[in-house]
Amino acid sequence: MDWEEYNKGVQKERQRRRDEATNEIDNIQRRLADFSIVLRQCTTAHYQLIYGDWIYNLYPGNQRIYSDPKHRGPFLNVPKPWTLSEVADAVIAHAQKIIEEIRTKTRAKNE
């Protein structure tokens, strides 16, 4: 396999991932709204996931996740290759842990 053939395969796979993300964004946004998490599409290749002070820049095509340096969130344990849905599930899991910690502290304070 020569370089051009390999590169075409890589580009085709990246486009497939971008198309998959575009197709599933509406369903993911509805799921995230229950947890006050925002997923916005900045371009066809770039998405931002925002929860509280956390901002994640997501690039499904080349499988990169960048946490904004001034709004760094926890490490997201997602499989490779990941989908937007899997990243959303990881953030929801962290959000649920935080909500449960707050509830536990509130209950302890009220008792």
The number of folded domains in the chain is 1
Q: What per-residue confidence (pLDDT) applies to 109?
A: 77
- pLDDT digits over 61-100, tens only? 999 999 988 998 888 889 999 999 999 999 999 888 888 8
Q: How confident is the model at residue 56 (pLDDT cuts 50, 70, 90)?
A: very high
User: Residue 6 above 90 pLDDT?
Assistant: no
Percent residues over pLDDT 70 in the chain: 99
Helix axes 84-110, 3-33, angle to 10 degrees: 30
Domain containing 79 equals 3-110
**Nearest Cα to Cα of residue 36 among 23, 47, 52, 48:** 52
Kindly list the distances between the CA atom of residue 63 and the CA atoms of 34, 92, 93, 103, in Å, as whole numbers in the listed order: 26, 19, 20, 35
Place of tokens 């395969």: 9
- pLDDT digits over 89-99, tens only? 999 998 888 88
Compute the CA torsion angle 99, 103, 104, 108 (nearest 10 deg). Answer: 150
